[in-house]
Amino acid sequence: MNKTIHILLATTVLSGMALSSNIVSADTEVIDTVELTVPVACTMSGTGITHTATLNPGTYSGASGSEYENGIGKTTLTAICNDDNGFSIYAIGYTGNQYEGENHTKLVGTNTNGTIATKAYVSGDTSSNWSMKLTKITNPGSGDPITYNPENLTITTNYDNWIAVPATYTKVAQYKANTGSSATDTTLGVKLETTYAAYIASNQAADIYVGQVKYTMVHPYNDVPAQPQTSASGKICYYANASNAEGTMGCQDVASTVTLLASNFSRTGYGFAGWSDKFDYATNNEAHFYGPQEDLSIPDTSIYTGEGKGLSLYAVWVKSQGNLQDTSKVASVCSNLTTAPTDGTANLASVSALTDQRDNETYAIAKLADGKCWMIENLRLESTNSDNSTGALAQGYGTSATYGNFSGLADAETANKFNSTYSANTLYSNDGSNDTINIGTSNAAYRMPRYNNVNTPTTESDRPQNPTANSSTNSTSNAGMYSYGNYYTWHAAIADTTAYSSGDHNTTSICPTGWQIPLGNTSTGDIGQSEADAANRVGGFSYLDRKMGGTGQDQSTTADSLRWRKYPVNFVYSGYVYSGSVNPRGSYVYYWSSTAYSSYYAYNLYLGPSYVYPGTLDGNKYYGRAIRCVAPGA
């Protein structure tokens, strides 16, 4: 949530006045507007975060042996947040950079001499144990430049006394006004103390025992942090990693080489950027990132076999920074991104996200090896009621009254009109010329099927797990994924009914204004894509391929395919529509380019497990293919 402050500066103007002959009439005026955006900024810091104590067997950690009274040192947490919806603080047991329930709430020895359990303190308990509690700091002291207000800080019930360290993320404190929906003053900070205490049993083995507690601030106050998950033995399981994400996914069997599943999760206001093996990937230096359908090599599958040893993969989310149609915002966001490395190295500095004004879908974007900003998710636009009479939302389309439902777009989720009669005759006008497509028709029978026939499965068996079948029926094996996007005819993709000839391309498209369908066909000289013409270059499949280490021509190795599917390029096997069926999702994909091969055919990118044709194959313009958009001026 941003707060915008508008300051209006205007000159004083005298116009049309003739008080005397020496007074000059002002014929122009200048209105100078200053706009300041104040972003939400919330931080939490800690002091005294390392505690060391030596306790003899049979003693407590308190002074003079008093049971738990003073504990083992004190940590001060300082939280400052200008979100007027407040914030919450969560805690979780955290040992050795792992989160695996109760095993990581214990104090663990350096040898094999056992552990010290964490639990709520009970007077007279003679087993080794440790616990924690939090208290508000009501008088931070003088000399601090920040004013602290403990009035609306609440310590969650039980955590204001000795209690066990939580095995899952648990709210321990909250800052929110006592009345109303907002904090009383967002310029104020709060301080709280966390204290740990222990009792050492008389039979506890001598050793050094270590444990950790991780604290996380989230805002607004009613949000919750992502949780670590434990997958089933021998399985790769997928998690949305956000409390407000939608969609469900199943698991895969662990194997020496596994092609990961595309995402079926969506999250309002966020783009999906890939998978990570750490739920706290944004702050975890050991996190690895993967493309949504990258090939994952597992030389030793036994490491994921056994109780609690499956592989958990978490959705990587990127928050929207504005609108795709806002050219100044696109330029600003892209200029601040680093160019993504071609080896798939984890780097969130090369990705961001922007939202399509037409349907409020948010897409992750990245600055790829060609220096251009690309959507790294497939286009999902189905239809729009937005008035596009000025061309402000998408090039080539008119007003919503005429072009609100685009031919060649997917049907609504509840009505899949795809059938065996779907062919050139239903997409093109009935004069047999194949020259004119019915763009703008409201006839749903002329539109492509939606990306996912089983978007909201109700049982585990219905969840998309192996989407590779040819059948167009609603079956688990044919289930699409949210990341697959929708299918479009070429004329719907370029937003033009013209019968383009070989090598022709146009700048209008179904992409948001300021974005384009990538160029194809290296034999035409990569129009505007040469190194010498870099300033005017628009995005092109073959040029990007060369910048990623390919040849820009037909490829025939798994390494070439993997480069396109690695994070953050993120191309996915979404299949295509041809001759009355959705061809294998999960096995290969075609993406439209904006370059025509002939009046009836256009170039496209083909991607399979062992082959890449970067915009050099052609296909009939009435086929349904996926779309990626690129910002040519980025």
Asked if residue 87 is part of any domain, the answer here is yes
Residue 17 has pLDDT above 50, yes or no: no
Give the 3-state DSSP-derived string for 259-305, with helices as H, strands as E and coil as C: ECCCCCCECCCEEEEEEECCCCCCCCCCCCEECCCCEEECCCHHHHC
Distances (CA, A) of 537 to 366, 371, 394, 486, 526: 17, 10, 20, 27, 9
Q: Does 304 have pLDDT greater than 70?
A: yes
Query: Is 450 domain-assigned?
Result: no
Question: Both 136 and 26 in a single domain?
Answer: no
Instruction: Give the highest mean pLDDT range of 195-199, 243-247, 340-344, 622-626.
Output: 195-199
Domain co-membership, 28 together with 155? no
Q: Is the pLDDT of residue 296 over 60?
A: yes
93 with 127, same domain: the answer is: yes
* 74 domain residue, yes or no: yes
Tell which of 169, 189, 218 closes a domain.
Answer: 218
Q: Is 14 contained in some domain?
A: yes
pLDDT, mean of residues 214-231? 85
Task: For 598-619, write each residue's pLDDT tens digit.
Answer: 877 899 999 999 999 998 888 8
Q: Is the pLDDT of residue 158 over 60?
A: yes
- 131 with 191, same domain: the answer is yes
pLDDT for the residue 394: 55
Given pLDDT bands bounded at 50, 70 and 90, which one contains residue 115?
confident
For residues 496 and 486, the answer to whether their CB atoms sit within 8 Å is: no
Residues 127 and 200 in one domain: yes
pLDDT at 391 over 60: no
Q: Report pLDDT for 14.
A: 37
Weakest-pLDDT range from 3-7, 18-22, 258-262, 263-267: 3-7
106 and 78 co-located in one domain = yes
Whether residues 129 and 102 share a domain: the answer is yes
Question: How many C-beta neighbours within 10 Å does residue 338 have?
Answer: 12
- Counting other chains too, the contacts that 24-29 makes at CB distance below 8 Å and 24 or more residues apart are none
Is residue 228 in a domain?
no
What is the three-class DSSP state of 582? strand
- Residue 243 in any domain: the answer is no
31 and 178 fall within a common domain? no
What is the per-residue pLDDT for 64?
58
Residue (of 214, 211, 204, 200) closest to 107 by Cα position: 211
Regarding predicted confidence, which is higher, 89 or 509?
Answer: 89
pLDDT of residue 472: 32
The reported pTM is 0.75
Please count the CA atoms within 13 angstroms of the CA of 551 that sit on its side-chain side: 11
Q: Can you tell me the mean pLDDT for 148-166?
A: 86
Most confident range, picked from 11-20, 469-478, 494-503: 494-503
| pLDDT on residue 89 | 94
Answer yes or no: do 28 and 109 share one domain.
no
Q: 71 and 213: one domain?
A: yes
Instruction: Supply the range of the domain harboring residue 149.
Output: 42-218
Examine the domain organization and report whether 29 and 98 are in the same domain: no
Write the pLDDT tens digit of every residue in 413-463.
223 233 333 343 333 333 333 333 333 334 444 445 444 433 333 333 333
Output the six-digit token pair for 179: 């009345």
Mean pLDDT, all residues of the chain: 75
pLDDT tens string 357-370: 877 899 999 999 98
Last residue of a domain, one of 202, 218, 234: 218
Please answer whether residues 401 and 562 qualify as being in contact, where contact means their C-beta atoms are separated by less than 8 angstroms: no
End-to-end Cα spacing for the chain? 26
Query: Residue 246's pLDDT is what?
Result: 85
Given 218, 250, 270, the domain boundary residue is 218
Specify if 175 maps to a domain.
yes
Residue 257 lies in a domain: no
Q: What's the number of domains the chain is made of?
A: 2
- Say yes or no to pLDDT of 470 above 50: no
Flag whether pLDDT at 501 surpasses 50. Answer: yes
138 plus 57 within the same structural domain: yes
Residue 300, C-beta contacts closer than 8 angstroms, at least 6 positions apart = none
> How far is Cα 276 from Cα 292, in angstroms, rounded to an integer?
10
